[in-house]
Structures are given as C-alpha cells and as structure tokens.
Structure 1
C-alpha cells in the first residue's frame, strides 16, 4: 500500500528522533550499569531497567507501543524498587522515567492524572528507602525522592511538548492535503464549467440553426444548405475545442466571441448593437469571452429578446437585452460560476433585471464602468 508523503515525512522524523535518543541513552545506560553494579546480579537487574526504556523508545514511532508499554512499566518499576530497597542504586529510576514519559502522552485520555500518578509512584517508591536504616535523612529525600520525581516531571513534560510538535506537523500536513484536495475539486469544477460552456453553447446553437434550416429547406434551399454547413463547421470547432480543453490548451478569443454572438443573434432575428470603446488584455479577454458566451446562450434560451446591446470598454464588458419576463428569473448557474471565477481574478460580475431588461456586466477594478439599464 502506498503511503502518503506526509505520513512518510512524520515517520522519518520519528525515526530520526528515536535514533538520536538511542544513540545518547544506550551508551549512558550501559555506563551507569557498569558504574553502579557491584555484582553480576545487580548488573542484570539494572540492565533490565535500561533495556525496558530502550524498547519503549524503539517502539515509540510504531503503533505497537501499547503492546510493550505495560510490560516495560512493570519491569522498570520493579528495577526502581530493587534499586531503592536492595542495591541502593539512586539511578535505577531512569528506566521508569523513560518508559513512563514516552507512554503517558500517547494515552487516549486521563494523561494528566497518569502523569501525576507516575510522579507520585516514583517519589513514594523512593521514600521507601526510609525503611532502611540511614544516617542522612536529607540525602535520602534528595537522592531517592526529589531528584527522581523531578526528572520524571521534566522528561514527561518534554515528551508532551514533543507530542504537540508531531501533532502540529500532522495538522499542517492534513491542511496541505485538504488544500490539495480543494485544488483538485476547483480544477474539476473549472473543467466542468468550461465543458458546459463549449458543449452547452454549441448544442443550443445547433438546435437554433437546425430549426432554421428546417424552415428554409422548402423555401430557400441554398440558405438551408448554408445553415447546415455552419452546423457542421460548428460541430467540428466544438470537437477541436473539447480536445484543447482536455489538454489544457483552450483559449477564448474575445473578438471571435463578439463576432460569433453577433451572428447568432442576427440569425435568431435579434437586433444587435456592438460598441468597442477599448481593448483589454489577453487574460481579461478570455474571462470576458466566457461571460459573453454564457450570456449569449442564456439570452437565446431564456429570453424573447428583440434587441441586444454589447459594450466593450477598458473596464470590461456589458450586455443588455430586452424581452425578459417580470416573473422570477431563471437560475443561471453558469453565470454564478463565472462570478466566482471573476472574483478569483480580481474582477466583478454584476447581474440585474429591471423593466423587462437584463444586464450582465463583467468588470475589473482598474477601470470598471458599467452601462446603466
């Protein structure tokens, strides 16, 4: 099974951390065993405590930590009690300090209570040294109670911070994964919108021209034949545009869209007036071309327009048509999608309906101006 890059990154960080700790603690543990052991039996017991700590560290990045946590805690706790009551080894608490500090932050709940319980146990176990006759009470309290308890608190606190660090890395990676998923979703929506622009527009135009050709076939065969040739050319152009879209090569030409819209409106018997006050840059022209194409399709589908006025200015484009019913307007999902796209690119798309007329205005902040209704 393929791992996500974020999961692999966290795993590598865990492994680096583990090897860094093992590289420091393993030699130190071995040195303490050699220094503190008076007999081979003491060496075996102290080695068991060190080994328990090293096993917990080694299993820390893996999901199997919970399987070894309890045995390691039992062994390291027994080693600490042995060091307090039998051998008098003040460093025997190191094993339980390591195992406890690694295990507690990964508990599903009651981690604070567990941390307090571990500290109390280490201190209480160290206090049992008082049952052994000693000359220096202060030394016992310091060496067997305060120092071990303090080390446990510090090491556990450090591991809590360590866990927060890895949790933060996980959250950042999840955030990046979500951003990637959103980017993919946005790209799919963009592709679907562009495909709708191409296919939907073409199908409505083909429907219009085929109906016109059907009417002319008996009265004006030459004109009907011309309409059929245009339908064939339009379908071929749509196939080419769909292929270009699939390979991310599609670009709309605003001038071509203006001419196409003008021809379509005239073919539908709609008077059209085009004013070109200024030219816009290529990127803005592509977006404005999409707005013009979608608006043209909407007018042909939803309005009984008699005239259309198209104004191209430095700020953007404005399309006004009549023949709009005063009833609730149709839900123009294509324009809603284009409004979001315009906003993403720093533009603004305005749609208004008033007195039987419909206005669609796409503009950019650097020179926005829209014709009034």
Structure 2
C-alpha cells in the first residue's frame, strides 16, 4: 500500500508544485471557515450561528471548485471557467449583503456585529482573491480587487453602516483582496515557470539525441558520398566498355569492387567509433551536463590504464545513467565513483530524487547489460533507500593492476 510519503516522492517537481498550489487555495478556504464560521457558534444564538456557518461553508465550497477549475484552465486542461467565476461573484455578493443586513437589522449585540462584520469582510477578500485566478492580465485582476473593495463600501453604506465604518471596510477589503490576488498571480506564474523549465529539460535531452544522430549522419555522408559517386561513375563506364567489347571493362569492375570493399571498411570504422565511448570523456561530459541542469555532480576515480573495451562498456553505462537522471528523475545531487582494484573495476552512479530512473528492466538498462556481457561484466540497478537510485557496473580485469582512485 502506498503511503503519503511514497505518493509525494512519486511525483515530479512540477506535479509537486501544482499539488502544493492547489492545496494552498483549499487551505485558504479552510481558514475562512475556521476563522469566521466556527467562532460564530459560540458568539450568537444557535439559529443565527447555524445560518452564518452555512453561508460561509457554501461560499468556501464555491471558492474551492472555482480555484481548482481556474488552475486547470491555467494549465490548458479546460476552457476558462467563466460560469464558475460569475457564480462565485454572485455567491460572494449574496453572502456579503446578507451578512451586512443581519448585522444592521437582525438581533442586536456586539457579538452579532463582530460575527457578521468578520463574515462580510472575509468572504469579499477570499472571493476576490480566488476570482483573480481565472483572469490572466494584471489590469483585470486589479479591476476585480478594486470592484470588490468599492462594492463593499457601497453595500455597507446603503444598508445603514456609518460612513467611517464603510470607508474602513473598503480599505480592509482592498488590502486583503490585493494581497490574496498577488498571491494568486505569483502562484500561477511559479507553476507555469516550473512546467516550462521541465519541458525545456526534456527538449534539451531530445536535442542532444538529435544532434548525435545528425553527427552520425554527417560522418556517414562524408565517408560514403564520394565513394558512392565514384562507384556509380566507374560502373557506368564499365557498362559502356562492355557494350563495345573492350577488355578495360573488367579492370573498371575490379576497381568498383575495391572501392566498395574500402567503403565497407570505412563504414565499420565510423560505426565502431560511434559505438565506442571514451570513459574519461563520458565522465567529464556527465559532470558538465548535470551541472548545467542544476544537479550537483561529484565524480571520483581514475580511468588511466583501463583496456579500451572496458572503457567503452563503462562509458555507455555513464551515458545511459546520466540520460536517465536528466529525463526521468528529480535529482538534486548525483555521484559517479570509479574504483579500480587488482581484479575488477566498479562503476557506481547514484542520485537522489528518484521516481522513475529505470526500474532495472528498461530497454536502456537491458542494452547496457548486453554491452557489459561482452566484457564479462555485470550490472545492478535499483533503489538504494529513501529516494536514491543506484546503478552499479562491475567488470573483471584480465591483468593485475594497482588500486587507483583519485577525486576530481
């Protein structure tokens, strides 16, 4: 059974920020009910208290639904909730007018005035702040706040509230709604920024793959372009000579065969160079890429003296593990350690913030196991406790070597 901690750690950073933002506005609703509705139960007579609590609960529920739909609209998951915004405005106005009317024409007493006055100001502040989630431009948000503040003064004055008290109400609503509107705008900006940064990281990873494919294509073009042109030219010449019965046609076809064999060898060299990874270069590249992505990376170990085939296999482990950290994890720190003993070399890549960095059965890790099998190596990948993920590659060494481990 998944607990709250596991559920939270399983979310990406943007999903965590979105969840936090949503529940922050639900928390504002809870504060509204706790600070205005519940105290009324002990301040006024039960019948009136029940009506006040019902009003604030209805208003809080409409605020919660509006906030959720407005955030969905902000993320592009639904259309702008215009009807919910108008509904919230209407419910807010109705509750505010009812609170002022009860305070002025209902049962007298300081307790009733305090309860209804607090309800009046709070519903206007929370209502205006939540409504600003459903608009994009600052001018419109400012208009909503100013409109609620001005409306509070007009309603209060029209229902018999003295002018100084009505003016104080306007100032209170203006400041409170303005602060909550600023919080709403900042929350939306932060949420959108986090999602954009996450999309940029995904784009960067895809561009890195595309750039490598283009490099490989350019290398093949450089190798094959000229040779294929020569083969085509000499084949055409051989055809013309053969039609005329000239013996030079055989020589041209022999030359075509030689060029074709040379091209085949050159293509194998290109592919071999593409598939072989230099371990030192991969370690330096991993550190640079992770650091650029805001992930603190520590690399330790010395690659000097390792056989080329071992470096190539381990280089691919570093490359694949780094890609997984960038694309699937939510890491803040990554360590890459290379340990060389007399009998074997062990490469360990460990990162925190793991949520989907490869469960050990992905195609990437399966490909690494195949590469390591070619050098009698083994690969282990899995959780290392808490939210850490560890990839360990072990390759035996054919000759005796001294222990070498230097921190860089």
TM-score range, shorter chain: 0.5 to 0.7
CA contact (8 A) 2:100 2:156 kept: yes
1:193-230 CA distances to partner (integer Å, 9 max, x unpaired)? 12212321321343466578787996679966853552
Q: Does 1:36 find its partner at 2:40?
A: yes
Alignment correspondent of 1:62: 72
CA distance in structure 2 between the partners assigned to 1:230 and 1:244 by the alignment = 21
Q: Does 1:73 find its partner at 2:89?
A: yes
CA contact (8 A) 2:152 2:173 kept: no
Displacement of 1:114: 4.7
1:8-46 CA distances to partner (integer Å, 9 max, x unpaired)? 653431212222342454155234202135312222122
Q: Does 1:233 find its partner at 2:261?
A: yes
Q: Give the TM-score of the pair, scaled to structure 2.
A: 0.48
CA distance in structure 1 between the partners assigned to 2:157 and 2:249 by the alignment = 116
CA contact (8 A) 1:120 1:149 kept: no
CA distance in structure 2 between the partners assigned to 1:198 and 1:186 by the alignment = 18
Alignment correspondent of 2:122: 94
1:118 to 145, 153, 163: 145
CA-atom RMSD in angstroms: 3.9
Alignment correspondent of 1:48: 58
Give the paired residue count: 241
1:147-204 CA distances to partner (integer Å, 9 max, x unpaired)? 1221011111222222222333344345445544543443343232122123213213
Displacement of 1:113: 3.9
CA distance in structure 2 between the partners assigned to 1:167 and 1:221 by the alignment = 69
Q: Does 1:129 find its partner at 2:156?
A: yes
CA distance in structure 2 between the partners assigned to 1:112 and 1:210 by the alignment = 74
CA distance in structure 1 between the partners assigned to 2:171 and 2:24 by the alignment = 28
- Work out which structure has the larger RCO, using CA pairs closer than 8 Å and 6 or more positions apart in sequence: 2
CA contact (8 A) 2:124 2:148 kept: no
Q: Give the TM-score of the pair, scaled to structure 1.
A: 0.52
Alignment correspondent of 1:336: none
Q: Does 1:12 find its partner at 2:16?
A: yes
1:141 to 150, 167, 186: 167
CA distance in structure 1 between the partners assigned to 2:250 and 2:170 by the alignment = 107
Which residues in structure 2 correspond to 1:1-373 (within 5 Å)? 9-23=13-27, 25-36=29-40, 38=44, 39=48, 40-63=50-73, 66=81, 67-87=83-103, 88=113, 89-92=116-119, 93-108=121-136, 111-133=138-160, 138-142=164-168, 144-207=169-232, 210=235, 227=255, 229-237=257-265, 240-241=268-269, 244=272, 248-249=275-276
CA contact (8 A) 2:149 2:171 kept: no
CA distance in structure 2 between the partners assigned to 1:60 and 1:103 by the alignment = 8
CA contact (8 A) 2:148 2:173 kept: no
CA contact (8 A) 1:69 1:103 kept: yes
CA contact (8 A) 2:88 2:127 kept: yes
Larger Cα-atom Rg: 1
Q: Alignment partner of 2:72: what SS?
A: coil
Question: Which sits farther off after the overlay, 10-19 or 169-178?
Answer: 169-178
Structure 1 spans left out of the alignment, 5+ residues: 1-6, 252-373
Q: Alignment partner of 2:71: what SS?
A: coil
Q: 1:77 to 1:133 in 2, by over 3 A?
A: closer
CA contact (8 A) 1:126 1:145 kept: yes
